[in-house]
Amino acid sequence: MQFQLVKGMKDILPEEQPYWELIRHNVDLMGANYGFARLDTPVLEFTNLFKRTVGEATDIVSKEMYSFVTAGGDKLSLRPENTAGVARSYIEHGMVNQPQPVKVYYLAPQFRHDNPQAGRYRQFWQFGFEAIGDKDPVIDAQLIIMSHNFLTDLGLEVEVQINSVGDSNCRPNYLKTLRHYYQDYKKDLCSDCQERLNKNTLRLLDCKNKRCQELAEQSPQFVDHLCEECKNHLMSVLEYLEEVDIKYNLNSRIVRGLDYYTKTAWEIVEAGAEGKASALGGGGRFDDLVELLGGRPTPAVGFAMGIERIVALMQEKQIKIDKEKYCDLYIAQLGVEARKKSLRLFEDLRRDGFSLAENISKKGLKDQLEVASKKHAKYTLILGQKEIADGTVLIRDMENGIQETVDFNKIKAEVRKRLSSQVMRSLKIRTKPPVV
């Protein structure tokens, strides 16, 4: 019997890792630049957390959760999204007492038992940024700018689709208007939408079925039914976006799949692919979520992006990234004794913070020097039989091939001296071409 990947799962192979590494690196950088701290929540949460927040009538909760009862009788689920966990954590750890907004980010796998297809997995990775405890539209705008610029910085052309899904003040009336509109077309709707009509009416607007889409296009738009407060909020967000030249499309079909959104809702899609491609990411306000979980009324806004989809689009667009690994020093060895001594030398230099590479199992010097040049090593330290006997090391300048013999005990000082006059390659893997 041959084992295979579980349906909907994906291996992220070593050759794909440079893309992932670049994304992880940029996510951390974005956290640092905009003042968000990392928050890791567990993969497992109580099932009720998602029922309460994402909503029982949503596809995610009603059809796609990996839920089970533990031996101890707890009803748990693999998280289908991360915002509910973040809000739970915010309340549980009394973050309400910290200066607001509390700004956190995560990068973590999510699980949805959906039908797998291109760009849709059952385990997929998201990173997300959440600002909890501030109702100012400038925060919505900043998160939209972040989610947009993250992708353009990677070389992707994207656009923002934006909408408002109102609040508890104006939404009930709009939903009534929408249901009224759809009543006349009930028989034209797909079976899913017929079911959703009374339970999850907003989702009719983002159904992928062709006839449902035609009907959605003619439907009354939320922007025309917003209360004063929601309308002003949306207008302010749009003004801020214009201020930084972020192009957006007002799109009444952006309603997001989760119940907890209020006011601003947006998605980021590949430029020119609206309606065709799945979104790379999306976000929105969730002013009622913390209260829904038993906390004080706390406005919040955030977004999540799918890493598999970003990587797939970068590959499709043939965006080149530097996959090579760089090092300052390469350690080459010839012979049994030299191999032993180089094991120790490697550990010694590594602990001192040098960036190193080796191929300890290789026997020929030529092979080893080839790897050293591939990794753009500045110097190769060569230990052969003669060096072992003399207590020395041969240091080879990889740029001009000049070799010099150095006392083994002075090697650290020597390489430190030589490297200190150059740009130290402290990061072993570069995500951009090295600045030398």
What's the rounded Cα separation, in Å, for the pair 181 and 247? 31
Residue 112 is a binding residue for ligand AMP (CB under 6 A) = yes
- Supply the angle between the helices 307-316 and 17-34 in degrees, to the nearest 10: 120
The CB-nearest residue to ligand AMP is 306
* Residue 337 binding ligand AMP, by CB under 6 A: no
- Among 18, 85, 133, 306, the residue binding ligand AMP under the rule CB under 6 A is 306
Q: Of the listed pieces 39-47, 116-124, 350-358, 424-432, which binds ligand AMP according to CB under 6 A?
A: 116-124
In the bound state with ligand AMP, the residue whose beta carbon lies nearer, of 121 and 354, is 121
Among 181, 41, 179, smallest CA distance to 108 is for 41
Q: Which residues contact 251 (CB under 8 A, 6 or more apart)?
A: 161, 162, 163, 267, 274
User: Which position has the token pair 């753009």?
Assistant: 376
> Are the CB atoms for 234 and 264 separated by under 8 Å?
yes
State how far the Cα of 55 lies from the Cα of 36, in Å rounded to an integer.
27
Locate 195 and state its tokens: 């079911």
Q: Which of 338, 336, 334, 321 is nearest to 408 (CA)?
A: 338
d(CA 311, CA 214): 31
Residue 111 β-bridge partners:
123
Nearer to ligand AMP by Cβ, of 142 and 161: the residue is 161
What is the C-alpha separation between 154 and 148, in angstroms, rounded? Answer: 10
State which of residues 45, 59, 81, 130 lies at the interface with ligand AMP (CB under 6 A): 81
Whether the Cβ atoms of residue 379 and residue 412 lie closer than 8 Å to each other? no
* Shortest distance in whole angstroms from residue 268 CB to ligand AMP: 8
Q: Is cis: bond before 80, omega within 30 of 0?
A: no
Q: Taking contact as CB under 6 A, which single stretch among the options 11-19, 111-119, 174-182, 203-211 is the one that binds ligand AMP?
A: 111-119
SS3 content of the chain, % helix, strand, coil (to 5): 40, 20, 35
Q: What is the smallest separation between the CB atom of 309 and ligand AMP, expressed in angstroms?
A: 4
Q: Minimum CB separation from ligand AMP for residue 123, in Å?
A: 8
For the bound state, the minimum distance from the C-beta of residue 256 to ligand AMP, rounded and expressed in Å, comes to: 6
State the nearest-atom distance from the C-beta of 129 to ligand AMP, in Å: 12
Tokens encoding 271: 């430029």
- Nearer to ligand AMP by Cβ, of 112 and 233: the residue is 112
Binds ligand AMP (CB under 6 A): choice among 41, 126, 147, 163 = 126
Determine, following the binding rule CB under 6 A, whether residue 85 of this chain makes contact with ligand AMP: no
Q: Which residues of 202-223 are buried (b: 16+ CB within 10 A; e: fewer)?
A: bbbbbbebeebeebbeebebbb
- Min. distance of Cβ 257 from ligand AMP in angstroms? 5
Question: CB of residue 125 vs ligand AMP: minimum separation in angstroms?
Answer: 8
114 near ligand AMP, judged by CB under 6 A: yes
> Shortest Cβ distance from residue 284 to ligand AMP (Å)?
9
Q: Rule CB under 6 A: which of 262-281 touch ligand AMP?
A: 279-281
The reply on whether position 259 binds ligand AMP by CB under 6 A is: no
Q: Which two tokens stand for residue 208?
A: 């992928």
Q: Which segment (168-176, 303-311, 343-351, 410-418) binds ligand AMP by CB under 6 A?
A: 303-311
163's enclosing H/E stretch is strand 158-164
Count of beta carbons in the 10 Å neighbourhood of residue 8? 17
**Interface with ligand AMP: number of residues (CB under 6 A):** 19
Binding of residue 346 to ligand AMP (CB under 6 A): no
Site mask for ligand AMP (CB under 6 A), range 138-177, x = bound: ----------------------------------------
| Choice from 140, 308, 358, 387 touching ligand AMP (CB under 6 A) | 308
Name which of 277 and 406 has its Cβ closer to ligand AMP: 277
Is the CB of 13 or the CB of 435 nearer to ligand AMP?
Answer: 13
The residue among 280 and 382 lying less far from ligand AMP, judged by its C-beta, is 280
Place of tokens 């009444």: 252
| Count of residues making up the chain | 436
In this structure, are residues 329 and 356 in contact, taking their beta carbons and an 8 Å threshold? yes
- Site for ligand AMP (CB under 6 A): which residue of 90, 105, 121, 346? 121
Minimum CB distance to ligand AMP smaller for 114 or for 188 = 114
- Chain CA centroid to CA 156, Å: 15
Query: Where do contacts with ligand AMP occur on this chain (CB under 6 A)?
Result: 81, 112, 114, 119-121, 124, 126, 256-257, 279-282, 304-306, 308-309
